[in-house]
Amino acid sequence: MKFQEITAEEFDKFEHGRLGGGFYQKAKRAIVRRKMGWNIYFLGVFDGKKLRGAGLMMEKRNAGIMQLGPLLDDYSDMKLVRAFLKGAIEFGKARNWITVEIFPPVILSVRDAKGEILEKNDQKKLFDVFREFGFKYEGATIKFDPRVMRWLTVKDLSGFKNIDEARASYKKNTRNKLRKNGPLLKVELIKDKSQLSEWIKPLNSSNKKNGVENLGRDVDYYEEIWDAFGDAAEFMSVKKKDTGETIVSRLVLYFPEETITFSSGTIQEFKQLNGMTILQDWQIGRCIERGIKRINFYGVEGDFTENNRLLTFKSEFGIVVEEYIGGFRKVLRPVRYNLGRAKRKATSLIKH
């Protein structure tokens, strides 16, 4: 097997329609990340003339990261896994990277909203191969990880012919919210980039409430997504019918294999109107109309207690939770890595 750089077109063709890589493994995302200062590489493994594995690798400050990649024809083929890992290590060393992190798109378990395991996958062989190449496992995370969403909430839509059938899978109190507040609200699609400065306000309101205001996702960022993804990106808002005031906003990305709810937010003073519930239902109906079989409501923390309000909300729509394997890190230049860690620790002590 041969590891080498491939073109964006080759990567796009390979990943098209494949589940697992989500938003992270999209060639169009590379356009956005480059403008944010990242170096982007498309890497692949060929078996003869056939491309059998590919991944989008990003690098900044001599640290490489591949999020929910690589996409492989078969993760049980350890010869293929070894070929990609060996190639990725050599690729990073040739460019003087300090570390390389890989987050395979491999599911450890599928759970219901209470955390009960519905399906469990034995990935011991995969763990062993990563260890064989000197990777350290860093994936057993419960909290949100800024590098990759490890716990994803998804809903299978393949069994529904229309939105009424889908609503029967919701919790009763959710259907009551739709009946009560649906007549008061309307969903609108954003038609022009100039509207994004208004569209983003609910997202900022939610981020402020959750203490995550510095995500780097300002209007300029969403304009880049608008340009890069084109018709695959839909920016939508929920408005009060009587005043036209925006109370909820969301960015949704449509791909052949799934629809991804990428960003959402609510103006906090209007939470009692349940605009997010209205939008969630509207989005499910839109997916069914388009023949999309899977909707990805994106990440939650792996906390299945009643304290996880985000999971509680998403569970109202009959979802399951996919637990991904998480990340592996390989230190390529130990001296530089340890010096960097010592410097960060000293800086932290000074700040405190």
Q: pLDDT tens, 54-87?
A: 999 999 999 999 999 999 999 999 999 999 999 9
CATH class of 2-106+121-140+325-351: alpha beta
pLDDT score of 209 more than 80: no
| Alpha helix positions (H), 69-218 | 78-94, 124-132, 163-167, 172-181, 196-199, 201-210
Distance CA 173, CA 194 (A): 37
Q: In what order do the strands lie in the sheet with 320-324?
A: 117-120, 107-111, 320-324, 151-156, 294-299, 259-266, 246-254, 233-240, 185-189
The topology under which CATH files domain 159-292 is Aminopeptidase (3.40.630)
Q: How confident is the model at residue 347 (pLDDT cuts 50, 70, 90)?
A: very low
Name the residue ranges covered by the structural domains of the chain: 2-106+121-140+325-351, 159-292
The predicted model gives 145-159 an average pLDDT of: 95
Which amino acid is it at 23? F
Which amino acid is it at 169? S
Helix, strand, or coil here: 228? helix
Distance CA 236, CA 199 (A): 8
Q: What is the dihedral of CA 305, 306, 311, 313, to 10 degrees?
A: 170
Choose the weakest-confidence range: 136-140, 195-199, 213-217, 283-287: 213-217
Q: How far is CA 124 from CA 121, 130, 322, 328, in A?
A: 9, 10, 18, 14
